[in-house]
Amino acid sequence: MDNVTLKKKLSAYLSDKGYLKNVSNEVLYEVLLAWENWPGSSRDFYRSIGFSFRQMATLIGKAKKLKREGYFGDGDFKSVTVEGAAEGESTQASSGPCAAAEIIWNNGQVIRFSDVTILIDFLRKSA
C-alpha cells in the first residue's frame, strides 16, 4: 500500500481537534507494515503520511503491542507438509541425489555434502 492511500485512511479517524481517535486494528497493522518497510528516515515517513511524529508514534506503539500479543497472526508464513514422507523421514534425502547440500565450484566442479555441518566447516576453511 502506498502512503497516499494510508494517509486517506488515517484522515478518516481525525477528530475536530486534529487527534487520531479510535483507529481500527486493520489500519494500525497497515501503518506498522508501512513503517517497517519504509527505506528512508522517520521524518520523511511522517511527512509522507501527513501527521506529526507524536501522532504516528502512538499508533506505531499500539500496533507493535498488538503484534507482540499475536493479534495480527502469522503473516505470510504457511506451514507446508510433504505428502508421501513418513513422519520421521527426512524430506531432503528423498528430494534428489544429494542428501543435504551441493555446491557448484570453480570450473563446473560439483561438491556434495552429506551433512550441513560439513558444508559449514568447508566454507569456514575456504574463506
13 Cβ partners below 8 Å, 6+ apart? Answer: 20, 21, 22, 23, 24, 27
pTM above 0.75, yes or no: no
Higher pLDDT, 53 or 82: 53
The answer to whether 23 touches 10, Cβ cutoff 8 Å, is yes
pLDDT tens track for 14-27: 999 988 899 999 99
Q: How confident is the model at residue 79 (pLDDT cuts 50, 70, 90)?
A: low
Q: How confident is the model at residue 77 (pLDDT cuts 50, 70, 90)?
A: low
CA torsion sign for 98, 100, 104, 109 is negative
Judge whether residue 50 has pLDDT over 60: yes
Q: How confident is the model at residue 90 (pLDDT cuts 50, 70, 90)?
A: very low
Cβ neighbours around 34 below 10 Å, total: 19
pLDDT averaged over every residue in the chain = 79
pLDDT tens track for 117-127: 888 888 888 76
CA distances for 76 relative to 38, 57, 72, 73, 79, angstroms? 19, 25, 11, 9, 10
Q: How confident is the model at residue 91 (pLDDT cuts 50, 70, 90)?
A: very low
